[in-house]
Structure 1
Amino acid sequence: MISKKILNKAKKIKLLAMDIDGVLTSGEIIVLNSGEEIKIWSVKDRMGFALLKNSGLSIKLAWVTARESRQVEERSKEIGVDYLFQKCLNKWERVSSCARRLNLQPDQIAYIGDDLVDLKALKNVGLAVCPPESPKEIKEVCDFQTTISSGKGVAREVIEILIKAQGQWQAVLSKFSIFLIAILLTLSACSPHPNSTSSIEKPDQWIEKFTITETRNGIPIWILQSEMAQVYNKQKKATLDQISIQFMNPPKELSSKSLILTKKSQTLAARLSAPKGEVNLDSHNLLVWNGVKVQSEDGTTLYSEQLRYSTDKQKIFTEAPIKIVKKDSILIGEGLEADPDLSTVKIFRHEASIHPKTILNP
């Protein structure tokens, strides 16, 4: 719940300025041998900027970064950023120059920053915001911390607060509702409806702490746990929330005397986590989405927005963009087929390989 004090500050804002690395991104910067930088952006922030542009509010947008990147310039044009400042160490100087140009007072400026280079700007603006990963010195001067982590929709969260505080949230929702209805009507006109009178099926069961264990000859292959499952008997599926899947290595010892001893010799090969998913209750094939992470026992980590797992093939698949972080490299591409432990990986559209990995902080 946002306090009345924060909402009163947010009512006055006419300029929203922010850092990029550590705010719009997680703070990781991949530097290619050519010197070009690759950043991973959140689609949630893209939606936030679209909400702001469609709000009818006269809030200007400024990006201020200590680094320089062609990708940032292209992204700012795509978003419709009003002011872009790169290679900027004195961020408050640039932000205040924008304010003077717009004839604004400091209390009409909001700033989102995550580190000491943002400190002066945060101290001088009317509404100072930081992501939760920020150091203590930054948190102490900020009016509030976002609930969302850096690179996961920080700007989206702040923009929603500004729009609500200035009384335009319902108008924005109406605009987007009309847009969505138009899309649905278009799809309805183009798509056949074999049973137009059917209603959305309701779940037959709600199960907390839902668990499935897939076995071969009594030996676990994977163990799925979900905080909540909705079971649909007719469709033979369960939709899942807050999923964790443990993929197991084959047992080191096969004990003819005791299955328990055999299970005890097993080790974890990889762990998958995702906010949302679905499992077929017959085949045990899986689909997970909304920010999927797979981490193998050697530390190799796969990130994607969506993954499928075939129990028969014991493989994971996706057509979505992927990032694989290893100890000595980063692989970026689109589409993948892999073993769950990431020991064998096939990337369908390979975009970049970085050897060695270079990750710089702003």
Structure 2
Amino acid sequence: MNVAGLFSGIGGLELPFEAHGANTVLLCDAWDSSRSVLSAHFPDVRLSDDVRELDELPDGVDIVTAGFPCTDLSQAGRMAGIRGEESGLVEHVFRLLRAREVEWLVLENVRNMLVLDGGRAMSYLVSELEALGFRWAYRLVDSRFTGVPQRRHRVLLVASRHHDPRTVLFADEHGEPGSSIFRDDAFGFYWTEGLTGLGWAQDAVPPLKGGSGLGIPSPPAVWVPGADTGRRLVTPCIEDAEALQGFERGWTAPAQLDRRGKSARWKLVGNAVTVGVAEWLIGRLHRPGEVVVPHRRLNTPGRWPHAAYGTAGEVWKFEASSWPIRREYRHLLDLLTQDAANPLSQRASAGFLSRVKRSRLRFVPEFLADLEQHVEYMASGDTHHGKKRRIAAA
């Protein structure tokens, strides 16, 4: 298979294709930092910097992948919709497909595009695909099914003119696992939230993201009950974040610094596709299976379901869970490099506590007690480890 990757980011969709013996013939991303990472890991692949300037796809392309920008679709972004300045760039995918026959198209984006603007993003995507003669299917999946402790829901859309995408997305169904597979020794949450939500996750972190409610790229926090004072609220290091997305640690190290001299690595990782999700998908592209997920025709689609298939104006709802399969789960504390995890800073923890006290959300009492103790400890200047202030400021 020959693969062309558009909006490639750091290669989360394309990397597993290489592992399956496919040949990547094109990667494209407009961000300098992304291209630095791609150049380091795909040194022999043609690299383009602007999808708008691509006249055509290379000859012999079998698969086009596109994790197109979620900036205008995600809750952490502007939510301007599919016609927004950045998410609207997906129109260039369709432009390129009009001029080149390909076997498969793989799109990936945030869960919010199913509901934003009454589902207009999905309506636009499927109408464009059907106008090009594609059959399409999509499924909402949770990255935890791949074994990584990150509760990350993303929409995978697969389309083809000649093949049945149902045999790719709906040939597996494990079902949501019970809570017994998760330990209760660590809980992830967003320290940038606190008024209306937390992204609370047991034995996992909430979705890594390139932005936050404060408008800055930021790691989630992890509550570790029973840890030493000052170590009960910590944030993962960037290498842990890479592992939470299924990449090798240090994958984004080639990223360029921004104009302020700050690293773009957190934003790159937050915008990436979880590698294990793409690995499962590619396995089914190579070996399609029998459809095992129950489904029914939708006479009046209304709101877009979590999984569906369509062709020629007709839509079927699939009763698919977000866990098509289940890989061996790696527990959060087994993945985190705890010595490299930074204590949540005094400023961050105090601001979070202030929002928590003003909110109407319900919290575990032990969590609130540890949060208040952490704020006091970080403000006290007490240095049990001798490096607390330096680590917190890093």
Question: TM-score normalized by structure 2?
Answer: 0.35
Q: If you compute each CA radius of gyration, which structure gives the higher value, 1 or 2?
A: 1
**Larger strand percent:** 1
Question: TM-score normalized by structure 1?
Answer: 0.38
**Larger helix percent:** 2
